[in-house]
Amino acid sequence: MVNNAEVLNLMDYNKTVNLPKTKFDMRANLPKKEPDIIKRWEEENYYQQLRQTRKDAATFILHDGPPYANGNIHLGTALNKILKDIIVRYNNMQGYNCPYIPGWDTHGLPIEQQAIKSLGLNRHDVSVTEFRDKCKEYALKYMEIQREEFKRLGVWGRWEDPYLTLKPEYESAQIRLFGKMAEKGYIYKGLKPVYWCADCETALAEAEVEYADRKSHSIFVRFFIEDGKDLLQSGKDSVVIWTTTPWTLPANMAVSLNPDEKYALIRIDGKIHVLAEKLYASVLAEVGITDYQVEQIVAAQALAGITYRHPFLPRVAPIIFGEHVTMEQGSGCVHTAPGHGVEDFEVGKLYDLEVVSPITDRGVLTEEAGPYSGQFYAKANKLIVEGLADSGHLLYTSEIEHSYPHCWRCKKPILFRATEQWFASVEGFRQEALKAIESVRWIPGWGQERISNMVSGRNDWCISRQRTWGVPIPIFYCEKCNEPLITPATIDYVADIFHQEGSNAWFAKEAAELLPSGAVCGKCSHTVFRKETDIMDVWFDSGSSHAAVLEKDAELSFPADLYLEGSDQHRGWFQSSLLTSVATKGVAPYKAVLTHGYVVDGDGRKMSKSLGNVIAPQEVIKDNGADILRLWVAASDFKSDIRASKAILQQTAEVYRKIRNTMRFLMANCADFDPAVDRVSYEDMSEIDQWALDCLDQFLNEVTKAYHDYEFHSFYQSIRKFCIVDMSSTYLDIIKERLYVEATAGKLRRSSQTVLHDILNCLVRVIAPVLVFTAEESWSYLAETDRGEASVHLAKWPEATSDWSNPSLRERWSKLLVCRDEVTKVMEHYRQEKIIGNSLEANLTIMADAVLGEFLRSFPDLRELMIVSKVEIIPYAAAVAGFEYAENLKEFAVKVDKMGGGKCPRCWVWSLEQGTHPEHPELCPRCTEVVLAMPVIADEA
């Protein structure tokens, strides 16, 4: 990089030299400049202009996954939006019509809770519609906050008209989508164990469950035999079950054995205990029983038909068989409660077991729980264990720590509870969904297996929620026979009303007002109905966006080219969108899905307030500017976890400074260059300039590929190498002499300027998708003729000229640069020893073999390339005193002497031939010639 002190000194000598000047400061001052640039973008409506100019072009549709309108944005949200913006901008520059319609997810429990909390509302004191209005107010407030934060990141989009899941047209489209699924028979009501949060009083979707370690009771319980079928004695022998949820024992309806395993009849204190053969040793060791005899080993089937007595309820229950019984832990005899677990429910269906779920919405045991009725389930755990001990059923109790499902919202442990819920039958279209997954390009590729496994393993989708802030489930019930009513006509009618009035209408109006005239019960022909009170799962809301947004918005189309979200969305939005799309249209809503990892700290730990390692995007913007944040995003290999820390951002800022300084050098040195007049044709250029164009060509190819393949970290590496290695320490370092010293309009200088001009025009465009502000600022300093567009973000992607690429020159120069590196190493050594200061003080002697010597002599400007005052090449000889022999280059040695003669004050090159002209006795011959030919320009001052 050019040393400014040097330049100034040089300029002071002779005011007639053109000062390289630019308003593009070294100091970026981004936090101050960026808001002004955003203001200009908005005032000039550049995003809308872009839409106008691209409106007839081929489209590229990136469909925005709606963030939840709750709270400020964090680094993860910022990363997601910046990645999208980079892709959108790149595609627009490539000439595509690539709109960006941001969206927000605005319904759901978290907003209800925040509305209750922050507004001090009591949900039961206000009407449903009033409460929903408050929720809406809250959601819109945060949508606006986030919108401003996203804009501050430099993200372009249709901010003034985003899509919101609470907009009437969205809700209406969602109702129609639901209706289509119902029409195809994919919606059903069923009693089923669902994840249930007793604290939030609602069912939870699989995506709303988080696993965390929790301490639980771990008990082994004897269930005494009722009918032992000649094998076991009634009232004396027992099967031993293991459970960590004693509160589910009131719902026990069977004990399941694995049909393919063997079971041991163990005698302890004269009584037989049934345990799996593979597990009895570990169980007895754990409970501390050493005195026992293995009486008999039997096949599981030998226990068929045996019954036992429930430990505290007046009930006799069977031993049954299920594949879900594993030999990994417990006793191999599994407590089976169809009302409290999916596997229990499934096996219960086969044996026609009753589904009992004796627990209320709030987690209190009901009368069906017998002696434990009225107890909160967590309390009941303790009481039941005590009761089992008193009645002689308890074999052993301890505590274990294990991974247990928790509510994502309130973080409390959840339960499985059978309730009446609405379901989408994934089973009904699972094969189609799996097929659709195969048709999608998943980036990175492992996403495909991940979502395939999730979809093949998942249960039917429980879509009802017992809350109020959401889209109502548009179903009516016959007041006489309770038969649900949902037909294309009722769906149409409700959807039309929602389109006009929004979904508050469901709560404001009577059932009769929401039904088309003449609606009758399909079962009993009754005509009076009541409304369903449940709302839809928020994942159904956002999962409907392909129908509500992609298909409906005039700027978009179905399917999208790309969905781009965090990898947790394989079980969230990617999946809910896929399911509703496949169910209604038979195809995936996207052609490609790109996922990014999570933001973690510099040591790879999760960011959390308690660890104090949270980096807020707002802080980074305030301290460094959004462009630094954006460059950090580009630098990260976002497909895995992304590290962020003060130190990492500092490194990013350092690279930014190098890019900026390169831009500044280019701009300063193009200041007096008019391409229309001064351009030098490729054939007439110096070799080094041709070489620089080849570098530019390669760089452009690399970064274009990086953007195209979503490999933004490759872009970062390329631009870093290009600015630091190819430009600063090589090309620009070498040509600065001719730029400052040679005749202003001389061919040498104009040749280099032509290249600088082309590099600048290319660079400003290729950084634009990432460094949106810096590119825009640079753009404003380009010559009018170069710009063409008012904003760089309206411009097209640069294209290489056919003559830029020059592979033979590339090879020749890579050979030269190896020699130059050796020379630089030696010079550095001499500089450290203070034998020379500036490299121009050096008189260089290179020893090389004949071929290499010949090669080096073929560069007429070798002195300049090495940045010395004199260079001489002599035949190679071994062990010559004063020479340093290269380690990495065969038969190559370098000697540096201090150059004699005098230093030309204009160009700093030392020479033995000063004083050739009486008016400029101190100048070297080259400078004398240049200065004499200069027109004299009056001093600016």
The pair of structure tokens assigned to 655 is 């690279």
Q: Which stretch binds Zn ion (CB under 5 A): 78-86, 129-137, 481-489, 823-831?
A: 481-489
For residue 364, list its beta bridge partners: 376
**In whole angstroms, how close is the CB of 910 to Zn ion at the nearest point?**
10
Taking the complex as a whole, the smallest distance from the CB of residue 197 to Zn ion amounts, in Å, to 3
Choice between 894 and 907, CB closer to Zn ion: 907
Give the Cα separation of 355 and 340 in Å (integer). Answer: 9
| Position 361 contacts Zn ion (CB under 5 A) | no
Dihedral of the CA atoms 37, 41, 47, 52 (nearest 10)?
A: -130
For Zn ion, which stretch binds (CB under 5 A), given 438-446, 482-490, 642-650, 743-751?
482-490
- Peptide bond preceding 472: is omega within 30 degrees of 0, i.e. cis? no
Work out whether 134 is an interface residue with Zn ion (CB under 5 A). Answer: no
H/E segment holding residue 194: strand 187-197
Sites for Zn ion among residues 911-930 (CB under 5 A) = 924, 927
- 6, 183, 199, 929: which one contacts Zn ion (CB under 5 A)? 199
The partner residues of 192 in beta bridges, in order of sequence, read 419
Candidates 332-340, 606-614, 827-835, 899-907; binding stretch for Zn ion (CB under 5 A): 899-907
Where in 524-583 is the site for Zn ion (CB under 5 A)?
A: 524, 526
* Shortest Å distance, C-beta 904 to Zn ion: 3
Please give the Cα distance from 795 to 798 (Å, whole number): 9
Displacement of CA 891 from its chain's centroid (Å): 52
Kindly give the pairing relationship between strand 271-276 and strand 238-243. parallel
Select from 636, 906, 910, 914 the one that contacts Zn ion (CB under 5 A).
Answer: 906
Alpha carbons within 13 A on the beta-carbon side of 839 = 20
- Out of 904, 910, 914, 920, the only residue in the binding site for Zn ion (CB under 5 A) is 904
Applying CB under 5 A, the span of 361-369, 387-395, 578-586, 903-911 interacting with Zn ion comes to 903-911
Can you spell out the DSSP letters for 720-780?
HHIIIIIIIIIIHHHHHHHHHHS-TTSHHHHHHHHHHHHHHHHHHHHTTTTSHHHHHHHHH
Total residues interacting with Zn ion, rule: CB under 5 A: 19
Nearer Cβ to Zn ion, position 182 or 924? Answer: 924
Q: Which is nearer to Zn ion, 261 or 922 (CB)?
A: 922
Identify which range of 331-339, 479-487, 560-568, 891-899 contacts Zn ion by CB under 5 A.
479-487
User: From the CB of 473, what's the least distance to Zn ion, in Å?
Assistant: 18
The structure tokens listed for 152 are 């501050």
Q: Which stretch binds Zn ion (CB under 5 A): 189-197, 230-238, 352-360, 549-557?
A: 189-197
DSSP summary character for residue 440: S
Indicate whether 407 belongs to the interface with Zn ion (CB under 5 A): yes
Could you say whether residue 483 binds Zn ion (CB under 5 A)?
yes
Closest to Zn ion by CB, 58 vs 512, is 512
Q: What's the min distance (Å) between Cβ of 932 and Zn ion?
A: 12
**Considering beta carbons, is residue 469 or 781 the nearer one to Zn ion?**
469
Residue 863 interacting with Zn ion (CB under 5 A) = no
- CA–CA separation, 903 and 272 (whole Å): 107
Query: Are 426 and 458 in contact, with CB atoms under 8 Å apart?
Result: yes
CB-wise, 451 or 923, nearer to Zn ion? 923
Residue from 21, 349, 523, 898 that binds Zn ion (CB under 5 A)? 523
Residue from 82, 207, 355, 521 touching Zn ion (CB under 5 A): that is 521
Residues 593, 566 contacting (CB under 8 angstroms) = no
Determine the Cα–Cα distance for residues 703 and 766; give it in Å rounded to an integer. Answer: 7
Place of tokens 């570098």: 695
Number of H helices, E strands in the chain: 32, 33
State yes or no: residue 795 binds Zn ion (CB under 5 A). no
Minimum Å distance from CB 467 to Zn ion?
A: 11
Q: What are phi and psi of 308, to 5 degrees?
A: -140, 165
646-669 helix and 772-781 helix, angle to the nearest 10 degrees: 10
DSSP string, 202-221: EEE-GGGEEEEEEEEEEEEE
Stated as kind and residue range, the H or E segment containing 267 is strand 262-268
Instruction: Spell out a b/e string for 141-169, using b for 16 or more CB atoms within 10 Å of the CB, else e.
Output: ebbeebbebbbbbbbbbbbeebbbbbbbb
Binding track over 427-466 against Zn ion, x by CB under 5 A: ----------------------------------------
Which lies closer to Zn ion via its Cβ, residue 171 or residue 864?
864
Q: Which is nearer to Zn ion, 101 or 414 (CB)?
A: 414
Of 6-14, 112-120, 406-414, 555-563, the segment contacting Zn ion by CB under 5 A is: 406-414
Which one of the spans 4-12, 119-127, 742-750, 902-910 is the region binding Zn ion (CB under 5 A)? 902-910
Q: Which of 327, 400, 481, 647 binds Zn ion (CB under 5 A)?
A: 481
197 binds Zn ion (CB under 5 A): yes
Contact flag: residue 907 with Zn ion (CB under 5 A): yes
Helix pair angle (807-832, 687-708), 10° resolution: 100
In the complex with Zn ion, which residue's Cβ is closer, 365 or 907? 907
Residue 478 as a binder of Zn ion (CB under 5 A): the answer is yes
Closest to Zn ion by CB, 15 vs 708, is 15
Among 17, 37, 164, 200, binds Zn ion (CB under 5 A): 200
Nearer to Zn ion, 457 or 918 (CB): 918
Minimum distance, C-beta of residue 251 to Zn ion, in the bound complex (Å): 21
Encoded tokens for 386: 């005590």
CA distances, 135 to each of 66, 71, 115, 205, 838 (Å): 17, 14, 6, 21, 70
Q: Angle, to 10 degrees, between the axis of helix 925-933 and the axis of helix 732-741?
A: 50
C-alpha pair distances (Å), 784 with each of 673, 676, 751, 792: 13, 12, 21, 12
Name the one range near Zn ion by CB under 5 A: 184-192, 609-617, 794-802, 896-904.
896-904
Minimum Å distance from CB 478 to Zn ion? 3
For tokens 């593979």, name the residue. 278
**Dist CA 334 CA 186 (whole Å):** 33
The minimum distance between CB 17 and Zn ion, in angstroms, equals 12
Three-state secondary structure call for residue 869 = coil
Q: Which amino acid is at 31?
A: P
Candidates 65-73, 92-100, 206-214, 410-418: pick the segment binding Zn ion (CB under 5 A).
410-418
Stretch binding Zn ion (CB under 5 A), from 470-478, 628-636, 678-686, 787-795:
470-478
Stretch that binds Zn ion, among 35-43, 456-464, 609-617, 905-913 (CB under 5 A): 905-913
Q: How far is the CB of 485 from Zn ion (least distance, A)?
A: 8
Residue 10 near Zn ion by CB under 5 A: no
Both tokens assigned to 402: 């294990």
**In the complex with Zn ion, which residue's Cβ is closer, 485 or 621?**
485
C-beta closer to Zn ion: residue 202 or 754: 202
Binding residues (CB under 5 A) for Zn ion: these are: 197, 199-200, 407, 409-410, 478, 480-481, 483, 521, 523-524, 526, 904, 906-907, 924, 927
